[in-house]
Amino acid sequence: MRPRTGFLVAGWLTYASYYVARVALAVAKPVLARNGVSYTTLSWFDLSFLGSYVIGQFVSGCMADRLSCRLMMLGGLLSSTFVCLALAVVGINPAGMFPWAIHGLVQSLGWSPLLRATRELPFDVDRPLAMC
């Protein structure tokens, strides 16, 4: 396997790992709603996650230009794991929105550093087509 291909496979697997952690609550919503959690509460969780995710995307884009992309992605994946575990301990209640907002911040550490690392690879083809 060529190094470029190996990097792209590793990049897609990393992003897929981020994606699985990001949609964990969305997958569980129907079950939570059947067990008595209101859709209003779930909407507040979405707002806390997405609001911090948007802010985090901006910040991580700036950080990716200055820090190690691999360390940012690894730190984001590990932090995401621990924050999901913290949410499991705290539960779906108002106190659980704090770890879920932190989850949005650490989830934003995936895409910008991945694009930054891809930009630095020596491609024979156009760079935008490399991730397609």
Query: What's the rounded mean pLDDT across residues 33-47?
Result: 92
> In the predicted model, is pLDDT for residue 124 greater than 70?
no
Neighbours of 84 (CB within 10 A): 17
- Report d(CA 70, CA 84) in Å as an integer: 21
> In the predicted model, is pLDDT for residue 6 greater than 80?
no
- Report d(CA 82, CA 85) in Å as an integer: 5
Sign of CA dihedral 55, 60, 66, 72: positive
End-to-end Cα distance, the chain = 18
CA 97 from centre of chain? 16
HSE, side-chain direction, 13 A CA sphere, residue 106: 22
Confidence of residue 45 (pLDDT cuts 50, 70, 90): very high
pLDDT in tens, 59-98: 988 888 888 888 888 899 999 999 989 988 998 888 889 9
pLDDT in tens, 79-90: 999 998 998 899
Name the token pair of 33.
Answer: 């709603």
- Report d(CA 72, CA 31) in Å as an integer: 33
Would the pTM of this model clear 0.95, i.e. be above it?
A: no
Confidence of residue 44 (pLDDT cuts 50, 70, 90): very high
**126, 51 in Cβ contact below 8 A?**
no
Name the token pair of 41.
Answer: 């509460």
